[in-house]
């Protein structure tokens, strides 16, 4: 069982699982596509540089190059983006061999990286090309150091390694399904005086040869010739719980990859229709890819080709906008409830709105008096004042009567 689980650590096995499976490829590519879908706002010290960056990235197809390199990282464990004079090109780890010479000085920023890459070119071109480290960007972790190491995972493992190993460890593979199906169907062989034949070694051998011949004939011709005293029937058993195995496998894959089960299997992940746990899980996955892979690469490419330092801010998706609107609505409703029971003043309600940025406040002061709410506040204050004044007058009269 350990050997089967360790099979998932072989990068080529996990990469093939992603390349030959539609579900596997969705897990690999869809979060990256979502991270790049809404684009980025480019922020620089000089607004004119923003236009130059957009024009350069469009002409050199840098957006597409970074997206493909990120997909290859998730697919094959790590990847390299080669930076040419006026082009960029990405390659997956399966076609890359690090050079024999590495940066071994622990104080060097390039520590843990090879001095270059030997990249095998695609067929039918063939051959390989050597790329210096300074002309490349690594999409991977230079500090990656797994307990179980093998060639090909020097800077990370494919995203499908862990789910593949988990499925093998629990036996949730196609082999298990085939075994279950084979157990649910049985062939019954009947023959007159078969029990008498099995009492002798000769008769038992003849029966075994007969069964082997029938099985071989059915596999070849799907037809069986039997004698008049023989009978073959098929017994098929109904097995329950097989659907739970598929459901368990889907949940296991989602748990291992962080991919929301509602998106992978088109089912509701929470206990109610208002559950947003899958939305938050998806947003965390996309944000992690954006922050750790895409934005650092875009910054380095901008600095290399234009010598400009720039920040890239992801544009908000419609889902993010809707969630922020719902959040602002809840904040406003909460403030309204507290204001309605006179637990806070209008100034404190405005301070809450300003702190949460739920609305845009054009002035720091509250609106002029005269509104219904302000009149109610004033009337309430006057009523309290009159009550206190009446109590004071009554107390004075009582004191005078006592003295008299």
Same domain, 286 and 353: no
Same domain, 248 and 238: no
168's tokens: 């093998």
E runs forming strands in 16-127: 40-43, 79-83, 88-92, 96-98, 116-120
**Does 207 reside within a domain?**
yes
Cis check: omega of the bond before 124, within 30 degrees of 0: yes
Same domain, 40 and 5: yes
Q: What is the structure's pLDDT at 404?
A: 46
**Does 32 reside within a domain?**
yes
Same domain, 34 and 156: yes
Q: Could you give the 3-state DSSP secondary structure of residue 41?
A: strand
> What is the rounded CA–CA span in Å between residue 222 and residue 137?
58
Same domain, 299 and 160: yes
Same domain, 158 and 209: no
Q: Which structural domain range is residue 386 located in?
A: 369-404
Q: What is the structure's pLDDT at 3?
A: 61
**Does 237 reside within a domain?**
yes
Same domain, 37 and 77: yes
Same domain, 235 and 253: no
Strands 136-139 vs 128-132: parallel, antiparallel or unpaired = unpaired
CB neighbour list of residue 341: distance below 8 Å, 6 or more residues apart: none
The H-or-E segment that residue 161 falls in is helix 161-170
Q: What is the structure's pLDDT at 32?
A: 95
Same domain, 150 and 193: no
**230 burial via Cβ count (<10 Å: 0-12, 13-18, 19+):** middle
Hunting for tokens 């070849």 — which residue is that?
220
CB neighbour list of residue 71: distance below 8 Å, 6 or more residues apart: 28, 29, 32
Q: What is the structure's pLDDT at 271?
A: 37
**Does 41 reside within a domain?**
yes
The H-or-E segment that residue 176 falls in is helix 174-184
CB neighbour list of residue 164: distance below 8 Å, 6 or more residues apart: 7, 8, 13, 14, 17
> What is the rounded CA–CA span in Å between residue 256 and residue 278?
15
Are 121 and 127 within 8 A, CB to CB? yes
> What is the rounded CA–CA span in Å between residue 68 and residue 74?
10
The Cβ-side half-sphere exposure at 15, using a 13 Å CA radius, reads 20
**178 burial via Cβ count (<10 Å: 0-12, 13-18, 19+):** exposed
The tens place of each residue's pLDDT in the chain, 404 residues long, gives 566 666 767 888 888 888 888 888 999 999 999 999 989 999 998 989 999 999 999 999 999 999 999 999 999 999 999 999 999 999 999 999 999 999 999 999 999 999 999 999 988 888 999 999 999 999 999 998 887 766 667 899 999 988 888 887 777 665 555 666 666 677 788 888 888 888 888 888 988 888 888 877 766 666 777 777 788 877 777 766 666 777 778 888 888 888 888 877 765 544 344 455 677 788 889 999 999 999 999 999 999 999 999 999 998 766 666 677 777 788 778 878 887 887 777 777 777 777 776 666 666 666 655 444 444 544 555 555 554 455 555 545 554 544 44
**Does 271 reside within a domain?**
no
**Does 273 reside within a domain?**
no
Same domain, 385 and 356: no
**Does 323 reside within a domain?**
yes
- Cα distances from 240 to residues 66, 172, 179, 244, 327, in angstroms, run 47, 16, 15, 9, 45
Q: What are phi and psi of 125, to 5 degrees?
A: -65, -55
Are 44 and 310 within 8 A, CB to CB? yes
Give helix 242-257 / helix 22-37 axis angle, nearest 10°: 40
Q: What is the structure's pLDDT at 367?
A: 62
Same domain, 334 and 386: no
Same domain, 131 and 217: no
| Nearest alpha-carbon partner for 11 in 99, 102, 100, 79 | 79
Overall domain count for the chain: 4
H-only helix segments in 260-371: 261-264, 277-289, 295-306, 318-340, 346-356
Total number of residues shown for the chain: 404
Beta bridge partners of 119: 96, 129
**Does 274 reside within a domain?**
no
């Amino acid at each position: 069982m350990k050997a089967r689980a360790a099979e998932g650590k072989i990068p080529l096995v996990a990469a093939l699982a992603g390349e030959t499976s539609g579900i596997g490829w969705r897990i690999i590519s869809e979060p990256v596509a979502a991270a790049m879908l809404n684009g980025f706002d480019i922020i620089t010290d000089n607004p004119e540089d923003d236009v130059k960056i957009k024009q350069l990235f469009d002409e050199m197809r840098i957006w597409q190059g970074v997206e493909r390199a990120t997909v290859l990282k998730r697919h094959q464990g790590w990847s390299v983006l080669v930076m040419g004079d006026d082009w960029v090109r990405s390659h997956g780890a399966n076609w890359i061999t690090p050079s024999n010479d590495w940066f071994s000085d622990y104080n060097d920023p390039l520590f843990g990286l090879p001095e270059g890459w030997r990249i095998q070119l695609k067929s039918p071109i063939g051959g390989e090309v050597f790329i210096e480290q300074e002309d490349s960007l690594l999409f991977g972790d230079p500090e990656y150091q797994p307990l179980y190491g093998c060639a090909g995972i020097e800077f990370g493992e494919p995203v499908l390694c862990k789910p593949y190993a988990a499925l093998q460890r629990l036996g949730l593979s196609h082999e298990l399904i085939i075994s279950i199906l084979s157990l649910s169907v049985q062939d019954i062989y009947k023959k007159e005086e078969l029990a008498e034949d099995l009492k002798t070694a000769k008769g038992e051998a003849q029966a075994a040869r007969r069964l082997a011949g029938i099985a071989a004939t059915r596999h070849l011709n799907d037809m069986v010739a039997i004698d008049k005293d023989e009978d073959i029937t098929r017994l098929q058993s109904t097995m329950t719980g097989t659907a739970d195995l598929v459901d368990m496998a889907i949940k296991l894959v989602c748990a291992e990859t962080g991919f929301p089960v509602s998106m992978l299997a088109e089912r509701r992940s929470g206990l109610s229709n208002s559950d947003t746990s899958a939305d938050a899980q998806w947003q965390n996955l996309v944000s992690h890819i954006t922050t750790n892979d895409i934005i650092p690469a875009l910054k380095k490419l901008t600095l290399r080709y234009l010598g400009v330092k720039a920040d890239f801010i992801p544009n908000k998706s419609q889902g993010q906008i809707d969630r922020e609107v719902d959040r602002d609505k809840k904040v406003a409703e909460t403030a309204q409830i507290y204001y309605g029971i006179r637990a806070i003043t209008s100034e404190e309600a405005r301070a809450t709105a300003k702190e949460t940025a739920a609305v845009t406040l054009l002035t720091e002061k509250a609106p002029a008096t005269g509104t219904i709410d302000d009149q109610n506040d004033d009337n309430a204050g006057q009523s309290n004042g009159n009550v206190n004044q009446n109590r004071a007058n009554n107390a004075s009269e009582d004191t005078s009567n006592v003295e008299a």
